[in-house]
Amino acid sequence: MEIEIKARVNNLASLRKQVLSLGAKKITDKHQVDIYLSPPHKSFFNTRYYLRVRQDLINKTASFDYHVLKSSGKYSVCEETEVGIKDGKILLKILKELDFTEICTIDKKREVFRYQDFEIVLDKVKNLGDFIEIELQGNFRNRRKHKNRIIEILKKLGVKQSQYCEYG
């Protein structure tokens, strides 16, 4: 299970300095291309489900992911199933042969940081802008408590609730 909040931001360079000043450690850079798909029997467009083939062009990795959104609004809680794959292009070819359809493609450059038990990601998304995402993973009994922990970090970074992105 993961809990995350994503927000639109204006100045990644300034935000990066603030993230580091919290004591976060930079883990890696990524260039991810995400292709979202729908199966032939049901459209996943604007639903709580998503199916994605993700390719990281820097690290030369790929994954196939299925997510079910359990909670939406200004934060998300979702169950995710992810499997590493050797070649995303071959999987896409197979899925298209099975009549899966592409919903959209998201191309983003990411900087990934670790702060305590949080993952903090700074994204530059092609044609969409700049974002911060803070995520916790685990089995949570009290989702609200953990959501509030994320909100506290966003406040420390100067990110306002009006900047949060809607999920769902």
User: How many CA within 13 A on the CB side of residue 68?
Assistant: 4
Identify the CATH number of the domain in which residue 53 sits. Answer: 2.40.320.10
Q: Does the residue 20 lie in any domain?
A: yes
Task: State the Cα–Cα distance between residues 135 and 53, nearest whole angstrom.
Answer: 20
Output the pLDDT for position 69: 82
Assess if residue 21 is contained within a domain: yes
Domain-embedded: residue 168: no
Which residue segment(s) compose the domain that 8 sits in? 2-163
Whole-model pTM?
Answer: 0.87
More confident position, 129 or 4:
129
Tens of pLDDT, residues 107-142: 999 999 999 999 999 999 999 999 999 998 877 677
Confidence of residue 168 (pLDDT cuts 50, 70, 90): very low
In which band, very low, low, confident or very high, does the pLDDT at 73 lie, cut at 50, 70 and 90? low
SS3 at position 111: strand
What φ, ψ does residue 59 adopt, rounded to 5°?
-85, -5
Q: How many domains does the chain have?
A: 1
pLDDT at residue 46, as a whole number: 79
**Domain contains 105:** yes
**Alpha-carbon Rg for the chain in angstroms:** 16
Q: Cα(118)–Cα(90) distance, rounded to whole angstroms?
A: 33
